Structure 1
Amino acid sequence: MTATHPPGPHDGYATDVAALCSDLLRIDTSNPGDGSGPGERRAAEYVAEALDAAGVHATLTEPRPRRTSVLARIDGEDPDLPPLLVHGHLDTVPAEPRDWTLHPLSGDLHHGCLWGRGAVDMKGTLAMTLALVRAWARTGQRPRRDLVLAFLADEESTGAYGSRHVTTAHRDHFAGVEEAISESGGFSITTRNTEAGPDARVYPIAVGERGTAWMRLTAHGTAGHGSGPAEDNAVAELVHALSRLAAHRWPTRLTPPVGALLDALDRTLGIRIDRTRLEEEASRLGPLGELFDCTVRDTAHPTVLTAGGKVNVIPSHAHAEVDGRFLPGARDAFLETVDRLLGPKVTREFIHCEEAVAADHEGPAFDAMAAAIRSQDPRAHPVPFIQSGGTDAKAFAAIGIGTYGFAPLLLDPDLHYFGMFHGVDERVPVSGLGFGVRVLHRFLTTY
């Protein structure tokens, strides 16, 4: 690949970002969501020390012991421009070492990749940010506008001890901020045999995400002996309700950003994606289809089921948890459908509920991100997309900040990016991290 490097000492990016990423991967910040994890304190202290060494004052904030976030600010060249927020999370989901090729806390370099839980989600991105700040400290360069930095706890749960904490307890830190960048966007997907030429690369930039409705369901029945009549069996009622929910075919609906994504893929691939058969088209397009497969409809997936404690006792209650996601503007209709499918004998309550969020996919920020990617990869085709999952973007949207998913990575065509998230053998290429630092440098010094 031919790439144009930005001004500055780019040659040290890959080495520095690799060391930073490896160090972060070796710090256990697993977050089971029940408060039993080690917390983010050690990683937060590491980040703060790296920032302080680069001349950037860092503040630690901790709503609960060891649930720690880091806040900082870097002055830009033009103080008249609104500040830009760069946020990311320090925590990871847990990993089972026996399932991995290398230990998930190893941070080892193997076949050109750094391996470990959080390599993609999202300690690699945090390392890119730190490497860039350190490079600026060495050269005296600065971003075009003020940068507000937030390295956050608890994203892998509800954000209560991270993004939701800092947006309330430290609201002034984000004064004047209108836009932000964070995880899950700007990565490459290689296409083949298209009108754009061989080995064209699509770079999806996230411009929003579906709403989140995590729900706890409860079925009530009559307790009794397992050998007797069971006309009011809570377990059976709940299982039947979950079966109806899981079998439901949610209708498709194109939001403007997803429509823009499909139009861009049409142009890049030289085809016409059939809007009336999106499920089949998503399957046909493989990794590119994953960009829209889950964002053209609502979803509700049962994930947890608990009931009873003894084989010969019919319990009076049965419980389940469901991960629900809904399109922008669809919250009420989504919940009405869920209630209809559950039926009158199953009640629900929210574990966590947040509205869908969106940023401008046609504005100058998106254009500047696309230009930054193209500056490093002439074969790049940046496109907008909506994330199927959720991030800290929702907490910042609540205070008027729109977040773009922009954590640029140049990936090997055979590395399944989405499969790295919460998956086994999570890893990130060192060369891709170096590419990402160069893209971020270009974007942050020009936008």
Structure 2
Amino acid sequence: MAEDVVDLCAALVRFDTTNYGNGEAEGEREAAEFVAGHLDSAGITPVLLEPAPRRTNVLARVPGTEPDLPALLVQAHLDVVPADPAEWSVPPFAGVERDGFLWGRGAVDMKDMVAMVLSVLGTWAREGRRPRRDVVLAFVADEEDLGHFGAHWLVEHHADFFAGCGTAISESGGFSHHVGEHRVYPIGTAERGTSHLRLTATGRAGHGSRRNDDNAVLKLIGALDRIAALRHPVRLTPPVRAFIERVAATLGVPVDWDDVDATVARLGPAAKLVENTVRSSTTPTVLRAGYKVNVIPGTATAEVDVRTLPGTVDELMAAVDAALGPGVRREFINHQEPVQAPVDSPAFDAMAAALRAEDPGAVVVPYCMGGGTDAKAFSRLGIDCYGFAPLSLPPGFDYRGVTHGVDERVPVEGLRFGVRVLDRFMSC
């Protein structure tokens, strides 16, 4: 069994766990069995659960020395998005170490977190250590699709396993972001809701050479143009307001709450972490219509990626409905409410302390994630979910760009930094 976090991460990357969506995925069982083997070697009993063949989830519990304390849930997904080898400079599932980085699909999303957690557990086993509180572990399938074979299924069918958990940590937070001379570490305390929509326009089918004032394609294009033009109002949630205040104070720039966009622009590189979360968004992404160039179809469909901030869902859907126009209807493909955890909490303070212990210059701030994670499932159990998968990243490293991107990679020293931070936090 591998013990070094870099070796663990490389081994995990080599499992092709591509999630193609629509229930099709590769390799989740093999990756789950690898994780289960490491848990077993650390004296931790794993439970493997499959809602469908080969869609495998691994659960376990590490008993703490003070079991009356609220338990900590550490959750991570084993699946990854597809990668086209022709676009990469290295084979995406080779787990190659080069130039101080470990390269491969899943290196930062999120097999790095899986490897760091396994490394911490291995250290505890070798040193005979135990955490103060119970640590519940969930290594899940299907996060990169809808979670129907992973976190959402576990919450619906095995909620009792997570009884007593007060706080959860997972991906998309705790990484360093260089802003001038400062190292900002955003901890995810919220994420926008996900409301994927399907629009269907209906009209009169006919020959492409003839006039048709009831063309479904034109109706759909008009609706999409109006939706794309929507300018959603600024809505400052507690983590977004706190992020802006704390980063602005660090940089010594003024805050103007009457012109949030201008204030965000003054935050320099940190603006990328907040610019997408000061308002909701509606982004057309998929179009389907017709089957032959000389035939006007009777229906045309589109899909729209909608992200909502807390308290904005009804307002946003009303704006979308007003933009549809006659002959176009909408339905939800997927609808998950926004998630928020307390910005000022003992858990957040403990994460910040663990980061500062390894990097005394760390500027730790809360932030809202623009996308979504399995926190949307586990928060339904009343668990406060945070994005905290700590990494130390070099200046100029485009963490967001390599996530789901080409040549995904993680710095090896960043992994070792993350292990030390997680060890401190998970032990407390």
Q: TM-score, normalised by structure 1?
A: 0.93
Counterpart of 2:418 (choices 433, 436, 443) is 436
SS in 2 for 1:318: strand
CA RMSD in angstroms, aligned pairs only: 1.3
Counterpart of 2:169 (choices 170, 175, 181) is 181
| Cross-structure match for 2:21 | 33
CA contact (8 A) 1:295 1:387 kept: yes
| Cross-structure match for 1:69 | 57
Residues in 2 aligned to 1:415 and 1:348: alpha-carbon distance in whole angstroms: 40
Counterpart of 1:23 (choices 5, 11, 14) is 11
Give unmatched runs, 5+ long, in structure 1.
1-12, 193-198
| Cross-structure match for 2:221 | 239
Residues in 2 aligned to 1:263 and 1:281: alpha-carbon distance in whole angstroms: 10
* Residue 141 (structure 1) aligned with residue 123 (structure 2): no
Superposition pairs for residues 368-379 of structure 1, below 5 Å?
A: 368-379=350-361
* Residue 341 (structure 1) aligned with residue 334 (structure 2): no
Give unmatched runs, 5+ long, in structure 2.
none
CA contact (8 A) 1:281 1:289 kept: no
Residues in 2 aligned to 1:373 and 1:244: alpha-carbon distance in whole angstroms: 45
| Cross-structure match for 1:219 | 201
Shift of 1:75: 0.7
The structure 1 segments of at least 4 consecutive aligned residues displaced by more than 2 Å after TM superposition are: 273-287
Q: Deviations over 1:29-55 (max 9, x none)?
A: 111212232151111111111111111
Paired AA for residue 85 in structure 1: L
| Cross-structure match for 2:36 | 48
| Cross-structure match for 1:267 | 249
Shift of 1:283: 4.4
Residues in 2 aligned to 1:284 and 1:24: alpha-carbon distance in whole angstroms: 40
Residues in 1 aligned to 2:86 and 2:256: alpha-carbon distance in whole angstroms: 43
| Cross-structure match for 1:295 | 277
SS in 2 for 1:88: strand
CA contact (8 A) 1:31 1:39 kept: no
Counterpart of 2:149 (choices 138, 161, 166) is 161
* Residue 60 (structure 1) aligned with residue 42 (structure 2): no
SS in 2 for 1:32: strand
CA contact (8 A) 2:281 2:307 kept: yes
| Cross-structure match for 2:293 | 311
Shift of 1:295: 0.7
Identity %: 56
Q: Larger deviation: 202-211 or 341-350?
A: 341-350
SS in 2 for 1:267: helix
Shift of 1:120: 0.7
CA contact (8 A) 1:118 1:124 kept: yes
Superposition pairs for residues 340-359 of structure 1, below 5 Å?
A: 340-359=322-341
| Cross-structure match for 1:172 | 160
SS in 2 for 1:86: strand
* Residue 150 (structure 1) aligned with residue 138 (structure 2): yes
Q: Deviations over 1:219-245 (max 9, x none)?
A: 001110000112111111111111111
Residues in 2 aligned to 1:117 and 1:180: alpha-carbon distance in whole angstroms: 25
| Cross-structure match for 2:407 | 425
Q: Deviations over 1:272-294 (max 9, x none)?
A: 24333333444453431012111
Shift of 1:329: 1.0
CA contact (8 A) 2:29 2:56 kept: yes
Residues in 2 aligned to 1:158 and 1:146: alpha-carbon distance in whole angstroms: 28
Give the total of aligned pairs: 427
Shift of 1:344: 2.8
Residues in 1 aligned to 2:189 and 2:96: alpha-carbon distance in whole angstroms: 33
CA contact (8 A) 2:179 2:269 kept: no
CA contact (8 A) 2:244 2:264 kept: no
Counterpart of 2:102 (choices 114, 119, 139) is 114
Q: TM-score, normalised by structure 2?
A: 0.97
CA contact (8 A) 1:258 1:296 kept: yes
Residues in 1 aligned to 2:380 and 2:293: alpha-carbon distance in whole angstroms: 47
| Cross-structure match for 1:10 | none
Residues in 1 aligned to 2:204 and 2:403: alpha-carbon distance in whole angstroms: 42
| Cross-structure match for 1:132 | 120
CA contact (8 A) 1:113 1:430 kept: yes
Residues in 2 aligned to 1:236 and 1:324: alpha-carbon distance in whole angstroms: 22
